[in-house]
Amino acid sequence: MSDTPAFLDGGRPPVPDIVVSRGVLPFFLPRRPVRGRLVRLGPLADSLLTRHDTHPVVTRLAGEALALVAALSTALKFRGSFSLQAKGDGPIAMLLADCTDTGELRGYARADAEKLDALLSDNPTPDAAALLGRGYLAFTIDQADAENRHQGIVAIAGESLAEMALHYFDTSEQLRCQVRLACEKTEAGWRASALVLEKIAGAGGIDPALDAEAQEESWHTAAVLAGTLTDREMLDDDLPPEQLLYRLFHTEGVAVDRARALSFGCRCSRARLAGILEGFPAEDLDHMVVDGDIVMTCEFCNHDFRFPRQEVHGSAASDRSPT
């Protein structure tokens, strides 16, 4: 425990110092209405996903969510964080992943053990729809100034997380997309990957000889080619991303942009959590005490923070006027 007062202690707990320098590779099909991003989390996926001891079906869905937010966030211009949140009445009550504009990733899935056991007894390989149940899917952009916040929410629809994301884009953003997600435990540990294609609106950068029908055919061709991608290819550390894209789209003349880095991005600190505790009344704080300390666990990195009760005053004490 640090000797620095909690409200001044902005230090972060020890987490793996892992940076995947080419975690996101943007690409486009020259003069055609198609652009996309290929995400390969590599060893970062294992570091993020093994912070919690969850069933493989839960871990797999959490890994897909991490790869998806990494792909979607890097298509946007913002300063802050981009998050995915799915909340339902199924065994996974909460699925959350976010990525900052600098590529810092974090996420977790909160599961109900009894509901999960009951589901797995009937279906050993449940899809995302069975794991999440009925609920909503939200994508949120939190800007650094804390005032410019954009959120889109839709009902959960689709069997896989990729289908749920496509439903969101179809209904909320009216954006033509193709989404492929993969997450599995390999011999090297957990790996996660995403491929997202987008149909570009407007004529910028598109061959003027391509009329609307030809543009639609070009998009259809790209989507069909993306559909041939296998999970094994997506998760293969030995297959460079440029080579993978060439395999898929070489007949269309694929070109890549500058790669983006991804890293372990939990942003918890004693100062942040101390500020939360100070908002509770003193009597509520007393009920939180275990062996003289209040213990708060970061749900992202699974690190325990201990606060001696006498160091946390609470809102009632802080609001009391001096006599």
Using a 10 angstrom Cβ sphere, with 0-12 exposed, 13-18 middle and 19 or more buried, the burial of residue 137 is: buried
Look at residue 294 in the predicted model and tell me its pLDDT.
Answer: 83
Q: Is 316 helix (H, G, I), strand (E, B) or coil?
A: helix
Supply 21's token pair. 């320098």
Q: Do the Cβ atoms of 62 and 109 come closer than 8 Å?
A: yes
The tens digit of pLDDT for each residue in 221-268 reads 999 999 999 999 999 999 999 999 999 999 988 999 999 999 988 776
Look at residue 101 in the predicted model and tell me its pLDDT.
Answer: 92
The tens digit of pLDDT for each residue in 189-212 reads 999 999 999 998 765 567 776 788
- Ranges of residues in the chain with a pLDDT under 50 are 1, 7-8, 10, 317-323
Report which residue type is found at 22.
R
CA 305 to chain centre: 24
pTM of the prediction?
Answer: 0.84
In the chain, what are the domains? 19-264 (3.55.30.10), 268-319 (3.90.1280.10)
